[in-house]
Amino acid sequence: MSEPELIVRFTAEDAARELRADVREGLTEQPKWLSPKWFYDAAGSELFERITTLPEYYQTRAEQQILQRTAMDIAEITGAATLVELGSGSSEKTRLLLDALRKHGTLHRFVPLDVSGSALRAAVDAIALDYPELLVRGVVDDFTSGLTALDAGTDRLVAFLGGTIGNLLPAERAGFFASVRAALRPGEWLLLGTDLVKDPERLVRAYDDASGVTAEFNRNVLRVLNRELGADFAVEEFGHVALWNAEQEWIEMRLRAARPMRVELAELALTAELAAGEEIRTEISAKFRRERVHDELTAAGFDLRHWWLDDAGDFALSLAVA
């Protein structure tokens, strides 16, 4: 086994600087917003793991089902020598792809990218142990704002699973797809997971579960700000809101102030005033139709070749070639 590499392009200092700039911007705009990026400290990542097991949150199981059925096809179609995984939290799904590509005999290298250095170190070490013949090179980077050149490997397959693409606004998505396309050579591949438009009641339930885990996940972003920015949000006095925006076809999560509040963010020397009932938008999670996925990938210079659904038709996996 060769030692796994870890390349750091995005440091803890970069993250701290970006958090400060982001929060200052979002809390001084009207309506107020916070980026979903900041949900995922250790507690938030754990809450998200619990979300993926909730009866209401079908996405993770649906994508897993599709991958179980298609991983071998993906290996044969792409013949990939390098698997690049963006936001590589989902290790079980990764293994389905790695196993299929290994069986197919083309795979040499695995390049997981994630903003969290600690999570990536653990993932890289575990994969390197179980796939001793693979070159493993983790890259700590924030890819949502664009991919810097994916200089590692040839015959690449870039996987962006879990429906996380839905957290980006349409203009951000266009920039993201363009940057992935620019990093690839013609004939290389993108595997994309997207949640689909469906009955709004089911969608809202998936983001407002009966056991309240998603509400805690949502409020956790305020705990992150309290800790990282010396803020004094009264976390328990924010209500969890999940709603379907039918015009944009996305779910929005918000935090609603139960009473008028004045929040001090000591490290930003910023005071944010909230009226009773005022809401802070904390996430959008866009839901797709095939046509939108097709059009956005085409606009970025990809050719959508395969579109796979789970049995219930809830979630899609797209395979597109550069």
* Residue choice 90, 167, 179, 194 for contact with ligand AVJ (CB under 6 A): 167
Residue with the closest Cβ to ligand AVJ? 285
Binding region for ligand AVJ (CB under 6 A) out of 115-123, 160-168, 182-190, 291-299: 160-168
Strands 189-195 and 238-245: unpaired
* Residue choice 90, 94, 116, 164 for contact with ligand AVJ (CB under 6 A): 164
Cα dihedral 92/97/99/105 (nearest 10): -160
* Residue choice 283, 296, 310, 314 for contact with ligand AVJ (CB under 6 A): 283
- For residue 318, state whether it binds ligand AVJ (rule: CB under 6 A): no
Count, residues in the chain: 322
- For residue 314, state whether it binds ligand AVJ (rule: CB under 6 A): no
Q: How far is the CB of 58 from ligand AVJ (least distance, A)?
A: 10
By 3-state DSSP, what share of the chain in percent is helix, strand and coil, each rounded to 5? 45, 25, 30
Q: Which is nearer to ligand AVJ, 188 or 279 (CB)?
A: 279
- For residue 143, state whether it binds ligand AVJ (rule: CB under 6 A): no
256 Cα distance to chain centroid: 24
# residues contacting ligand AVJ (CB under 6 A): 12
Whole-Å CA distances, 206 to 57, 74, 196, 251, 284:
5, 29, 13, 10, 13
| Ramachandran quadrant class, 94 (left: phi over 0; alpha: psi -120 to 50; beta: rest) | alpha
Q: Is the dihedral of CA 203, 211, 40, 16 positive or negative?
A: positive
Q: How far is the CB of 253 from ligand AVJ (least distance, A)?
A: 6
